[in-house]
A = this chain, B = another copy of it.
């Protein structure tokens, strides 16, 4: 499998994302608490995320320094404009992913929710935009959608052992085969090494 992008050193882009998974949830917690309760305090955020007040206090201080969170005159927590923008964008991505997994892929609701929760903060604006347009196009064509999803959930495997289908061919191997197929005996270059 050569197409897979292991060969770069860009894999660490994962870490220098604009917001980490936990930051995403701090922001959404404030948004959610203010919507449901009208206000958000450190304790509320901690309770909402099921973490200690100490952890919440420290994290929220950093978010204030980063300019994503501030306090109102009564010292309740608020999102800044930037924080608000981020929170909304992540919530937006969550909805898109969740609906894609559940409604289109037919994944069980709880699993769809978990997957969406894990990926919501990682989706690029381009993919988010694409997914929105895709879902709109797909869901606006009722018959077409149903035909497609029915076919998908049918029993016929489109790609047989022959490995000839539009999905597999560009990859060079059949993606329908379970990921654990042949162990591929590699050539071992001889090199002297004592056993420890």
The chain A residues found within 8 Å of chain B, CB to CB, are 1-7, 9-15, 17, 21, 25, 28-29, 31-32, 34-39, 48-50, 72-76, 81, 84-85, 88-89, 91-92, 94-96, 99, 101, 104-108, 111-119, 122-124, 126-127, 130-142, 144, 147-149, 151-153, 158-159, 165-167, 170-171, 175-176, 179-181, 183-184, 186-193, 195-196
Contacts and interface: CB of A to CB of B under 8 A. Distances in A.
Contacts of A15: 21
A32 B184 CA distance: 12
Contact of A112 (B37, B127, B187): B127
A171 B112 contact: no
Contacts of A188: 38-39, 72, 74, 76
Nearest to A159: B136
Contacts of A123: 115
A117 B32 contact: no
Contacts of A141: 148, 151
Contact of A4 (B84, B94, B130): B94
- The dominant DSSP class at the A interface is helix
B115 A124 contact: yes
Given A101-B130, A139-B165, A75 B118 contact: no
Contact of A5 (B75, B113, B138, B170): B113
A61 to B, nearest CB: 14
A186 B38 contact: yes
A140 B127 contact: no
A137 B151 contact: yes
Nearest to A128: B179
A32 B48 contact: no
